[in-house]
Structure 1
Amino acid sequence: MQTLVICIDRDNDLGEKAKLGTPIVGREANVQAAVALGIADPEDSDTNTIFGGIRILDELRAKGADSEIVSFAGDKNVGVISDQKIAEQLETFLKMNDVQRAIFVSDGAEDETLVPIVQSRMKIDSVKRIVVMQSENLESTYYILKHVFSDPKISQTFFVPLGLAFLIYAIFLLARYPEGAVVGILAAVGLYMLYRGFGLDDIVALEKERLWDAFLEQRMVFISYTAALLTLLVATVYGAIEVWKLYSAEGVWYHGTLTLVSVFINASVWWYAGALLLANLGKIFDLRMENRPIYKNISISLFVIATGLLFWGASTYILATASLSEGVTNDAALALQYFVYSITIAVLIALAGIKYTMSNQSLGNEDRVKGKRKNKIM
């Protein structure tokens, strides 16, 4: 076909509200989809997007152009997951159809973030944004606020930090320690803002979907990831308890922030390392079952051990100089030797991992070259 009219529903309202699967190909199918979505939610702007695409399709066909319309939908977890689903649907459609150019139709700037994804696979002649004209009454402050807060993306950003603050304050009041409520609220809200600011919500949603797929497919990585998450929880609690012992005894001004951080690292570093090794062990097991190479994962395990040695050696030396270590590591000079030894051993382990990876990559490249030669001879 000459021109493809592409309608984008990034948050999958077609699937969540109208219970329709995508891609939806053809004029009649899209008319039915728009009507079904309009009945399910008359206020959804994606309905107008599809109708706008149908109008563009009719104009192109009236001019004699060989054109078609298709609607793609992503996922309610807007971001990496939804964009990947739309990209997969687009690639599958292009494999089955010869498309020369496209017209991109959306209802706003959020859907238009997918323009580069589509443009990397085909030529886009035009980007059309469908804007719905509203009456004066509908543009009132109440209507706008009502619909803003009913949007899950906005309500989560606004209500979750507020809910966390109220919940933490109530917990500290029940514990009869209201002085700590301000610190707890600031810490929780700060962590949440960092979580959203760095885009970790997309990563967590993607990993959650992968973990659920692993559970359904009965892969070992589900068990290893679950064990790793529980180990991370134990590591955090154990490290926090050790820090609290010192903080409640003399306070941060007596020991210093660096010392308290070193106590947390020294107490929990091998728990964290063990959690990462557990997660990687599940990947290695599944890769072996699928007869796929595992050298990269083995190298990652070696790097985890090397990093754990570095943090353990550094924190042990800091605690020894602060006279907080027990046993043989209480001697600062001996702790310094341990630190030097940990650096040396960590470097050797890291070099072994790099050497192992490079040797296996070279063997893999040689096997691929031999395979290509055999194919040419045949």
Structure 2
Amino acid sequence: MTTGRTLVLSVDRDDDIGWKAKIKSPVVGRQECLKAADTLALADPEDSDVNAIFSAVKIYDELIAKGEEAVVAVIAGNHLHMIEGDRKIAATLDNVIAETEPSSCILVSDGAEDEYVVPIIQSRLPVASIRRVIVNQMPNLEGTYYILKKLLDDPKISRVVFVPLGLAMLLYASAFILGYPGTATIVVIGVIGMYLLYKGFGLDEFIHGSINALRASMSRGKFSFVTYSTTIVLGVIGFAIGFFTVLKYYTSDSSMGVLLYVMSFMYGAIIWLIVAGLVTSVGVIVDVYINERENLAKVIVFPFFVFAIGLILYGASIYILAVSSVPEFPVKPTDAGMYIMYSTLFGLACAIIGVIIQYVIAKRQAVQQKEAIIENI
């Protein structure tokens, strides 16, 4: 017989109990877990989390029948954002452990996705066993079609499938209406490619984190809320102008390669993006100066680096487009070298100035901290 109390834990990582059954996590105790399973089953009888919760209760009953001390609980994450959901699971698990005081855990899962949280659980409690609940399905065409239909009905999956397809079709139709039929295909392919890169590099989580930072700055009355809002507007304008610049220099004879289209976009958008980066940097510096002045040296260099990188990229885009003899480009090939040379020199000078200012501020802060320590002694 094992010593200590065993926590039989069912993890609903995508929060179906909250999304579908409107049940707040955590759910602790046999009767509460059965009530949650019944409510979820009525909301969605095909949800596999129902079987996982019932399986957890069954394991709990078996342990109690053997005379062991046990407790059963269900915790959930977030239906749309996995990172926030895992953080919620970690915080909820801490509360459950503090309430029930278990010495080990039996994890009950309905699939591999829930088992991603095993390291989170193991960092807080020994995992004695993992039970995966597999729901039998009909292995025929009708059953497969029904499963796919249920998946596409899930907002978490449908937004990944339907949003890029719908956006591509909308852009394709808009290109024809605006009189750019030859541009429609490249626009659609470009948008789908950007969306795939957006998801592949995890930029959705980055943007979601930026939105949370925006909300936090607004709720705390920080100056960066204004600069973040301005940055979003400037970024949208920059991307729009970059897109129209690509259309301006677009040729239907395939004489321009992908690199030249990228440079065209950069040539049109980079000035706006530089201004957006500078506005954001100023907001961060002001907030740090007011609230965390000891960290000023770490952020004071941001606007200098933003301006330096943007200036170099701007010069590079002009140089490449000019020497490639892009039709109707305002800079002549003979002047291209001057643009890239001056933009690189000014960019490097700006970066060096930023590093020097950062060094001076850091040294001054170190002296002030040393003086403060001496005064306290």
Q: In 1, Cα distance between the equivalents of 2:232 and 2:367?
A: 35
Q: Is the 8 Å Cα contact of residues 168 and 181 (structure 1) preserved in structure 2? A: yes
Q: In 1, Cα distance between the equivalents of 2:178 and 2:214?
A: 36
Q: Is the 8 Å Cα contact of residues 4 and 101 (structure 1) preserved in structure 2? A: yes
Match of 2:342 in 1: 338
The Cα RMSD (Å) is 3.7
Match of 2:312 in 1: 310
Distance 1:283 1:339, change over 3 A: closer
SS at match of 2:86: helix
Match of 1:21 in 2: 24
Higher deviation after alignment, 85-94 or 19-28 = 85-94
Match of 2:65 in 1: 62
Matching residue within 186, 202, 225 for 1:183:
186
SS at match of 1:28: helix
| TM-score normalised by the chain length of structure 2 | 0.81
Matching residue within 298, 301, 305 for 2:300:
298
Q: Is the 8 Å Cα contact of residues 310 and 346 (structure 1) preserved in structure 2? A: no
Q: In 2, Cα distance between the equivalents of 1:247 and 1:101?
A: 64
Q: In 2, Cα distance between the equivalents of 1:270 and 1:105?
A: 54
Which AA in structure 1 matches 2:349?
A: I
Q: In 1, Cα distance between the equivalents of 2:90 and 2:371?
A: 32
Match of 1:265 in 2: 266
SS at match of 2:7: strand
After superposition, give the CA deviation of every residue in 1:326-365 in whole Å (9 maximum; x if it has no partner). Answer: 69x9745644551452253044135336636864896799
Match of 1:87 in 2: 90
SS at match of 1:4: strand
Structure 2 unaligned residues grouped into runs of 5+: none
Match of 2:202 in 1: 199
Higher deviation after alignment, 143-152 or 79-88 = 143-152
Give aligned-pair identity as a percent: 37
SS at match of 1:113: helix
Instruction: Check if 1:223 corresponds to 2:226.
Output: yes
Aligned length: 369
Which AA in structure 2 matches 1:17?
A: K
Distance 1:247 1:168, change over 3 A: closer
The residue correspondences of 1:124-163 to structure 2 (distance < 5 A) are 124-134=127-137, 140-163=143-166
Q: Is the 8 Å Cα contact of residues 165 and 185 (structure 1) preserved in structure 2? A: yes
Match of 1:282 in 2: 283
Match of 1:37 in 2: 40
SS at match of 2:300: helix
Q: Is the 8 Å Cα contact of residues 311 and 344 (structure 2) preserved in structure 1? A: no
Q: Is the 8 Å Cα contact of residues 306 and 350 (structure 1) preserved in structure 2? A: no
After superposition, give the CA deviation of every residue in 1:291-317 in whole Å (9 maximum; x if it has no partner). Answer: 463433323333222322332344455
After superposition, give the CA deviation of every residue in 1:185-226 in whole Å (9 maximum; x if it has no partner). Answer: 211222222222223233333433443454455544333222
Q: In 1, Cα distance between the equivalents of 2:50 and 2:12?
A: 9
After superposition, give the CA deviation of every residue in 1:232-261 in whole Å (9 maximum; x if it has no partner). Answer: 12222333444544446x9873x7765664
Instruction: Check if 1:348 corresponds to 2:349.
Output: no
Matching residue within 169, 175, 200 for 1:166:
169
The residue correspondences of 1:238-249 to structure 2 (distance < 5 A) are 238-247=241-250
Distance 1:43 1:234, change over 3 A: same
Q: In 2, Cα distance between the equivalents of 1:344 and 1:259?
A: 25
Q: In 2, Cα distance between the equivalents of 1:197 and 1:218?
A: 34
SS at match of 2:106: strand
Which AA in structure 1 matches 2:94?
A: E
Structure 1 unaligned residues grouped into runs of 5+: none
After superposition, give the CA deviation of every residue in 1:49-68 in whole Å (9 maximum; x if it has no partner). Answer: 11111111222222333322
Match of 2:237 in 1: 234
After superposition, give the CA deviation of every residue in 1:88-121 in whole Å (9 maximum; x if it has no partner). Answer: 2223444555443211111111111111222233
Higher deviation after alignment, 268-277 or 285-294 = 285-294
